[in-house]
Structure 1
Amino acid sequence: MPLPRSAVHKAATKDEVIQIRAPRQAKALFGQAAALRGQKLSEFMLDCAYRQAEATLLDQRTFFLDEAAHARFLDLLDAPPALSADAARRLQRKAPWEA
């Protein structure tokens, strides 16, 4: 079973350097978010990058289905469920930062 991210980060030696350039506004935003989590900026950036990389890799996983399951899967993709009234209302709302 894989270790939780926090355990992986604490157990791993930090022997590699990753450098990025970012606009001042982005750094300020990242710093503010890191402070809210009680993390150093580098810890916050590494955690976010780790989660995004993991999600990207998991999104590319291959899975195999028998013919019947594959046909059912394609049917589900071709006929998504109807949008509920509640979901439709939520999609019409402006995001808090757009208001």
Structure 2
Amino acid sequence: MTISTPRSSRLGLRTTPQQDTVLRRAAKLANKSLTDFILDSACQVAEQTLLDQRLFLLDGEQAQAFVELLDRPVQDNPGLQDLLSRPAPWSN
């Protein structure tokens, strides 16, 4: 990940001596500054964590059951209708 805008936010980290050694050695091997290495690594994990919340994998049987649920006719849901008829909390 290349950051093209100036960095203005600051994060502080405390590490054990072993963690510090590992991070510094890995950054050196990657030809990156310690800051760039930590930021790149943390962002990769953060993006994967966010993707894991949107992507789910199903085997063939599970996929078929999921498709069948999606294909079922719409059912009346008074609770959902009530929720959707209320103004959004942030619009007040």
| TM superposition shift of 1:15 | 0.2
| Contiguous gaps of at least 5 residues in structure 1 | 64-68, 75-99
Q: Kindly report structure 1 stretches of 4+ aligned residues shifted beyond 3 Å.
A: none
Specify which of 45, 66, 70 is matched with residue 52 of structure 1: 45
RMSD over aligned Cα, in angstroms? 2.6
Give CA deviations for 1:8-47 in whole Å, capped at 9, x if unaligned.
x1x1220000001010110110000000011110110000
TM-score (norm 2): 0.59
For residues 73 and 56 of structure 1, the distance between their equivalents in structure 2, rounded to whole angstroms, comes to: 23
Computing the radius of gyration from Cα coordinates, the structure with the larger value is 2
Normalised to the residue count of structure 1, the TM-score between the two structures is 0.55
CA–CA separation in structure 1 for the residues paired with 2:63 and 2:17: 48
Q: What corresponds to 1:24 in structure 2?
A: 17
Residue ranges of structure 2 left out of the alignment (5+ in a row) = 57-61, 68-92
Name the count of aligned residue pairs. Answer: 63
